[in-house]
Amino acid sequence: MAPADILSRIVAHKRVELAADRAAEPLSDLMHRARDAAAPRDFSSAVAGDGDVRLIAEIKKASPSKGVIQPDFDHRRVAREYAEAGVDAISVLTDERFFQGALSYIADVRAIAAVPVLRKDFTLDPYHVWQARAAGADAILLIVAILTDEELAGLSDLATDLGMACLVEAHDADEMARTEAMGARIVGINNRDLRTFETSLDTTFRLRDNAPADAVLVSESGIRTADDVRRLREGGIDAMLVGEAIMASGAAGAKIRDLRAR
């Protein structure tokens, strides 16, 4: 199946899943749980660069393109390893069908690591935003490619009202222009081409100068070595989101130290 078809298939399934979630828990009940959740942690400050590249380490068991990345996966163990390594924030894949994640991982991770947690999923509806907050998420992902401008604005405003940050993800120049139009404060540049699934760090540097003024810039995907991190640092990138390289290494702490080596 072509990568573009994978994205369409994920979004289509997410809409079916959303209907089932609504039936299982009415929005009014979800809103009540969200308002009772522990106060959000400051994701924005955690990922704002200070001359170095902040690390958002991702907990990711599998992906449609790579299959299972870590066969002996245990999200609690990974969270402990990330906490001990001193990561700045943690991204948690919560999609079950395609990434073998779970929404319940967020609370487990948050209880182990005292850093902000990003819900990494395909946010399509206000219900998803309330769901993320009820689960304990401190930030959500908004993928420009799958949302209209109106949806981006509405979901972003709701997340802000609930005290969460938004990582607004762009893949190309047109999408970057849309992040600027909405005034995104944290912009993720995905180095993976959604049509071919090939990754290139050059995407970050090609799109960097078109990002909203003063936005925190996060480079995502394809970051594997200390040299990659050096390029990001020298290019003025604030943060990086790294999952596959760490999860596939089998030694999270050592891989994180390697990435941070100067």
pLDDT of residue 44: 97
| pLDDT-wise least confident of 4-13, 151-160, 220-229 | 4-13
Q: Specify which residues 63 forms β-bridges with.
A: 67
pLDDT of residue 177: 96
Phi and psi torsions of 151, nearest 5° = -65, -45
What are the pLDDT digits (tens) for 95-147? 999 999 999 999 999 999 999 999 999 999 999 999 999 999 999 999 999 99
The pTM score is 0.96
pLDDT of residue 31: 98
1 has a pLDDT exceeding 50: no
Domain 3-260: homologous superfamily in CATH? Aldolase class I (3.20.20.70)
What mean pLDDT is predicted for residues 241-258? 95
What are the pLDDT digits (tens) for 24-49? 999 999 999 999 999 999 999 999 97
Position 4 confidence tier, pLDDT thresholds 50, 70, 90: low
pLDDT of residue 141: 98
pLDDT of residue 198: 82
What mean pLDDT is predicted for residues 49-62? 93
What are the pLDDT digits (tens) for 148-200? 999 999 999 999 999 999 999 999 999 999 999 999 999 999 998 776 678 89
229 has a pLDDT exceeding 90: yes
247 has a pLDDT exceeding 90: yes
3 has a pLDDT exceeding 70: no
> What residue spans define the domains of the chain?
3-260
Residues 6+ away with beta carbon under 8 Å from 182: 149, 152, 153, 156, 168
pLDDT of residue 206: 95
